[in-house]
Amino acid sequence: MIDFDIRPSGHPVPDAEREAMLRSPGFGQLFTDHMITLRWSAERGWHDGRLEAYGPFTLDPATSVFHYSQEFFEGLKAYRQDNGSITMFRPDANAARFNGSARRMAMPELPEETFIRALELLVAQDREWVPAGEGNSLYLRPFMIATQRGLGVNHPSSEYLFCAIASPAASYFSGGVKPVTVWLSEEYTRAAPGGTGGVKTGGNYAAAFVAQQQAVDRGCDQVVWLDAAEHRWVEEMGGMNLFFVRGSAGVLRPRFGWRGDPVDHDTAADRDAAARDHP
């Protein structure tokens, strides 16, 4: 087990000021009083673990991370329970993913127990920064950067810095969770596409609108139509799917979007084709 030197801040944020800040923390803009630092070198391995006052680093302009981007981060949350206790969500899984990233980046792995211990120390020291209220949390950001001074890409850095900082965060859904019902159809095949333009225009909506009617009949708010027969083509085109989103008049309107885009990512051509082919 790697030891950490506990060095509490001599100038923590006053209680009244902190409480005012926690009333509307937003995300990623406020930071707690402390951070964790831990260093690694080829000669000594992991060493100089500290819990210390949150503050800036001093790095040489030739530090490797600035020039060769050898760095990565994780993210997880700690929550205040009804009984006042603080819990983290699956830190062991984040520790495993952290080390997976380290291997891919040719950086040293951090023992899982050390990763968890570092976060436990930080949360325990700054527990008053964990906001109460449903959905609110203390966001934890552990990361590692290459700190060797010098230029050259013939080998990875020989020195690294592990750091963990914490930021109080408001609920992700500021207006509360508002689930929608979704109808998923894979039963119908649209006309063979002739490039993206052939899909977006030219009346190729016919089969997909059967899925739309199924969603309407079942009172769903949204339908996603996936064409299993064209799955390979969809993948080659970057994963384009056709969505239908219920509009203000209660009618499901078509939307095209790339996988991961918002479902209302559409074009004037999409809207014109929908209005022409299915008024």
- Residue 212 CB coordination number (10 Å): 22
Output DSSP code: residue 228.
G
pLDDT of residue 28: 86
Residue 161: name the closest of 4, 68, 46 by CA: 46
pLDDT of residue 220: 64
pLDDT of residue 153: 78
**What pTM, to 2 d.p., does this model score?**
0.65
Burial class (CB in 10 A: 0-12, 13-18, 19+), 35: buried
234 token code pair: 């969809």
pLDDT of residue 195: 41
34 token code pair: 């402390």
Backbone CA torsion sign across 8, 99, 107, 62: negative
Contact 110/90 with Cβ under 8 angstroms?
no
**Domains of the chain by range and CATH?**
4-169 (3.30.470.10), 182-277 (no CATH)
* Chain-centre distance for alpha carbon 99: 18
123 token code pair: 């949360």
pLDDT of residue 26: 85
65 token code pair: 């991370």
Please enumerate in sequence order all residues whose Cβ is within 8 A of that of 70, keeping only pairs 6 or more positions apart, or say none.
64, 105, 106, 107, 145, 146, 156, 157
What is d(CA 226, CA 257) in angstroms, rounded to the nearest whole number? 12
pLDDT of residue 224: 56
Catalytic residue status for 200: yes
pLDDT of residue 155: 82
Contact 115/1 with Cβ under 8 angstroms?
no
Rg of the chain (C-alpha set)? 25
pLDDT of residue 142: 98
Amino acid at 268: A
User: Going by DSSP bridges, is the β-strand pair 182-185/222-225 parallel, antiparallel, or unpaired?
Assistant: parallel
Element (H, E) at 66: helix 64-68
Predicted confidence pLDDT, tens digits, the chain (279 residues): 788 999 999 999 999 999 999 888 888 889 999 999 999 999 999 999 999 999 999 999 999 999 999 999 999 999 999 888 999 989 999 999 999 999 999 999 999 999 999 999 999 999 999 998 888 899 999 999 999 999 887 788 999 999 999 999 988 766 666 666 665 555 544 444 444 433 333 334 455 556 566 666 666 655 555 544 443 333 333 334 444 444 444 444 444 444 444 444 344 554 455 455 444
Contact 135/173 with Cβ under 8 angstroms?
yes
1 token code pair: 């087990």
From the candidates 200, 223, 225, 234, give the one annotated as an active-site residue: 200
Strand partners, 39: 47, 161
pLDDT of residue 176: 63
* Chain-centre distance for alpha carbon 233: 28
